[in-house]
Amino acid sequence: MSDVGTEPSLISDAAQSSQQPSSASPTPSSDPEAASPLRPSAPPPPNLRATIAEACGLALVSCLLGSIPAGLRVARAGGSFVGGLVVAAAIVLPLLAAAISMSKAAGRGFRMVTGLRVGRSTAAVIALWIGLMAPVLMVLGGLLKEKTNHRGLGGATFGVLGLFVAAGSLAVAYRLVEAARRLVERGLTPRLVAGGLAAVGVVPTVLASIPLLRGHDDSPHAPLVTAALIDGVLFIVAGAVAVTYDVGERARHAARRFGAIAAGAWLVLGALWLSLSPALAAALRTGGGLAAALVGGLERWTDRDGDGHGAHFGGRDCDEGDPRVHPGAQDVSADGVDQDCDGVDGVVVPGARPAAHAQAHVEPTPAAAQDQAPAPAPVAASKPSIVLVTLDTVRADHTSAYGYAQPTTPRLASLAAQGALFSHAYAPASDTQRALMPLFSAVPWHDTPKSNKEWPILRDEAETLAERMKAAGYRTAFVSSFTWMGREKGFGQGFDSFSEVFRDEHPERGVTGPLAVRAARAEVEKAKADPRPLFLWVHLFDAHEQYRRHDGFSFGRGDKGAYDSEIGFVDKQLGDLVDAVDASALKDNVAIIVHGSQGEGFGEHDVSGHGKELYEEMVRVPLVVRLTGAPAGLKVAGRAVSTLDIVPTILELAGAAAPAIGVSLGPALRGAALERAPVQLRNGRRASVIDYPMKLIVVRRDKKERLLLFDLAADPREERDLSSERAEDLKRLRALIEPDPTPKRD
């Protein structure tokens, strides 16, 4: 972009050249750089103050136009359109003003490199290029995400096709600008042509954004990210148009006189409105977009106590000196402290309005339905309430309950001391889908009715664990902290209450544990008025990547230290939930089952994360059960078990028929010997069988097998392959590997 104050616009330049008489003698160039310094008519370049003021004026107008979508989103989220427009424009204004100022300052140097005749036409081509390329890339990305299940293939396809889109858009933009010049030379109004170019740059992006914002992305935050990208494109195009469009000397003079004052006043108005209106701040974040992303970053920047919430820029943290006090924290009644910053100490009273982003989405039963609902079926007094807690991505050997050197899980260890700890418990796979969906469907992964997407939908024909529990006379409730495990994906089948706390806080960018515990406590409190036993399933996601460090949970540096901090924080949430259960009407007859979904690797076998390999760090998980009246302090160490065994265990406690999945852990909970076949694991081309202490891993590649044999008692880190030394064990375990079942199709 070039200097607005000294260089004619691309359109007016063409108009002037078309009106000059043809002559053999050279005519003075309209570019001031090419004009003679002795010409008295050449206007002096504006000083720095005038340049900045003009940039502020242009940026303000551009921000007002670019913030219209943000205002509409805020209005749709329950806020004020005018307020959303004012605040969104104020947030982006400093960035756009700085960009325009730098483009003006760099104009002369840019022309020295590219030639004196390169001016605003270059900026117009760039702006038009972005405006044409962005919607095509948006549509291409949306189509690939919808049609391609393989991430690597989709990403590579997008990269290759994106290069062709970028090159083609640049060529089209250049041709359009050249065509615009010719139209002006033929007498068409320059400003009309410039307005047409601006429409060509903006309208496709707006049209492409509509289906994207209404798309079917699994993540509830995908529309927010899409809105931010669209806003960014609109602001870039608006700023480029402001630089290239010939606004006229009168408008430019007004911008130099009043631009800085108007921009400063707008900034103050936007900051005050954002700070004084919590409803507007909440609506802005709900609507998403570039302004919401920027204000969220500014709020986190003011977070001094490390609890993930700030006190400024729309943040509602009411005590920046105490990390235990913030929106979404668990509020203790009658202690004189408003821990969740909702204006009330303890449970929110009727009519009180808690912070918008601290509410859990609990869907109550309509009053009419309550009046017509049949009386609960009589339930035997021996049936215990059951609380199942899933610790997402928590590996066993990083919990102090399983001997980890760092004191990461004192509450889990305390729960184990009151019940039973299974030393060698395994997830059926290391990816979330295969590890958790069978617990919902109550049948193995390959028998589960589901779609074929990467994150599959649970079909209605599944007879879920919750449906079986409901038929057994239980009140059922689920608290989900992860976007995939939502009602839209079929996981709500059989649950009387279904809370999706991920709708209030992004599970991979924020903290959902306190919100989940808060929703779970609300379900526990309902036991006072409902005679049925409760089946409550709570999913705690916070230990999953991205890792956050939590105040009071410092266990080392690097990713491992941050991961351990997450585990410590999750353990604290578990303890809060157990305390709530023990203080409720459920305390006299309740089973609490805690398990990890799968583990997490940190390069132990040159692999990090989870989802592919079947090594111990990725599949061995904690499993602790506390049952009222059962022996305490049990440690089941002689046999491997599976988290799939949780399903028949729960159904046995409920007096319901057990499905063909897993083995009930009931005998072990009563102190008896547990009879169980070796545990089977499978992850795509990898399979494993564990007959503790021996473990076999089978890796299939190109119809060939690689066999890895480990003695877990002597080599718990799986560092020594015994496949060439213990042929009998290798043969015996290989014979136990079940054939790869053919997955069911749609």
**Distance between CA 519 and CA 704 in Å, rounded?**
49
pLDDT digits (tens, 9 = 90+) for 49-79: 777 887 888 888 888 887 888 888 888 777 7
Calculate mean pLDDT across residues 338-362: 45
Which of residues 731 and 271 earns the better pLDDT score?
A: 731
Residue 291 lies in a domain: no
Please give the pLDDT value at position 174: 81
Residue 288 lies in a domain: no
Please give the pLDDT value at position 696: 97
Q: Is the pLDDT of residue 219 over 80?
A: no
Please give the pLDDT value at position 342: 62
Residue type, 201: G
Q: Answer for the pair 106, 4: CB distance below 8 angstroms, yes or no.
A: no
Residue 631 lies in a domain: yes
**Distance between CA 709 and CA 654 in Å, rounded?**
39
Angle between the 558-582 and 513-525 helix axes, to the nearest 10 degrees? 10
**Distance between CA 492 and CA 499 in Å, rounded?**
9
Cβ neighbour number for residue 95 with a 10 Å cutoff: 15
Q: Indicate whether 656 and 703 sit together in one domain.
A: no
> Half-sphere exposure of residue 37, counting CA atoms within 13 Å on the CB side?
0
Q: Indicate whether 565 and 701 sit together in one domain.
A: no
Q: How confident is the model at residue 360 (pLDDT cuts 50, 70, 90)?
A: very low
Q: How confident is the model at residue 13 (pLDDT cuts 50, 70, 90)?
A: very low
**Distance between CA 588 and CA 607 in Å, rounded?**
45
Residue for token pair 């409920």: 654
Q: Indicate whether 276 and 394 sit together in one domain.
A: no
**Distance between CA 195 and CA 197 in Å, rounded?**
5
Closest-CA residue to 222 (of 479, 483, 454, 458): 483
Q: Indicate whether 250 and 388 sit together in one domain.
A: no
**Distance between CA 327 and CA 311 in Å, rounded?**
10
Residue 1 lies in a domain: no
Cβ neighbour number for residue 623 with a 10 Å cutoff: 27
Q: Where are the beta strands (DSSP E) in 527-683?
A: 534-540, 590-596, 601-602, 608-609, 620-621, 623-627, 634-636, 641-642, 679-683
Q: Determine which of 12-16, 248-252, 683-687 has the lowest per-residue pLDDT on average.
A: 12-16
- Residue 708 DSSP SS3: strand
Q: Indicate whether 645 and 691 sit together in one domain.
A: no
Among residues 257, 280, 303, which one ends one of the domains? 280
Residue 416 belongs to what H/E stretch?
Answer: helix 410-417
Among residues 627, 643, 677, which one ends one of the domains? 677
Please give the pLDDT value at position 648: 96
Domain span at 241: 10-18+45-280
Residue 185 lies in a domain: yes
Q: Answer for the pair 513, 503: CB distance below 8 angstroms, yes or no.
A: no
CATH number where 743 lies? 3.30.1120.10
Q: Which two tokens stand for residue 71?
A: 């205002």
Q: Is the pLDDT of residue 367 over 50?
A: no
How long a stretch of residues is the chain? 746
Residue 431 lies in a domain: yes
Q: Is the pLDDT of residue 692 over 80?
A: yes
Please give the pLDDT value at position 226: 64
How close are the terminal C-alpha atoms of the chain, in Å? 53
Q: Indicate whether 244 and 213 sit together in one domain.
A: yes
Asked if omega into 546 is within 30° of 0 (cis), the reply is: yes
pLDDT digits (tens, 9 = 90+) for 725-738: 999 999 999 999 88
Please give the pLDDT value at position 508: 76
Q: Indicate whether 259 and 390 sit together in one domain.
A: no
Q: Indicate whether 620 and 733 sit together in one domain.
A: no
Q: How confident is the model at residue 41 (pLDDT cuts 50, 70, 90)?
A: very low
Number of domains in the chain: 3
Q: Indicate whether 664 and 736 sit together in one domain.
A: no
Among residues 280, 313, 341, which one ends one of the domains? 280
**Distance between CA 30 and CA 42 in Å, rounded?**
10
Q: Which two tokens stand for residue 592?
A: 């609490």
Q: Answer for the pair 8, 16: CB distance below 8 angstroms, yes or no.
A: yes
Residue 676 is given by DSSP the state -
Q: Indicate whether 600 and 565 sit together in one domain.
A: yes
Residue 498 belongs to what H/E stretch?
Answer: strand 497-500
Give 577-580 contacts, CB < 8 A, sequence gap 24+.
Answer: 577/387, 577/389, 577/517, 577/520, 577/521, 577/538, 578/411, 578/415, 580/517, 580/520, 580/521, 580/524
Q: Is the pLDDT of residue 10 over 80?
A: no
Q: Indicate whether 159 and 108 sit together in one domain.
A: yes
Q: Determine which of 28-37, 300-309, 514-523, 526-535 has the lowest per-residue pLDDT on average.
A: 28-37
Q: Answer for the pair 245, 252: CB distance below 8 angstroms, yes or no.
A: no
Which of residues 726 and 185 earns the better pLDDT score?
A: 726
Q: Indicate whether 98 and 118 sit together in one domain.
A: yes
Calculate mean pLDDT across residues 151-158: 65
The alpha carbon of 508 is separated from its chain's Cα centroid by a whole number of angstroms, namely 5
The alpha carbon of 497 is separated from its chain's Cα centroid by a whole number of angstroms, namely 23
Please give the pLDDT value at position 207: 66
pLDDT digits (tens, 9 = 90+) for 429-469: 999 999 999 999 999 999 999 998 888 999 999 999 999 99
Residue 347 lies in a domain: no
697 bridge partner residues: 688, 708
Q: Determine which of 152-161, 473-482, 604-613, 644-653 has the lowest per-residue pLDDT on average.
A: 152-161
Residues 6+ apart with CB under 8 A from 245: 9, 191, 194, 198
Q: How confident is the model at residue 340 (pLDDT cuts 50, 70, 90)?
A: low
Residue 337 lies in a domain: no
pLDDT digits (tens, 9 = 90+) for 459-498: 999 999 999 999 999 999 999 999 899 999 999 999 999 9
Q: Which two tokens stand for residue 642?
A: 């599976």
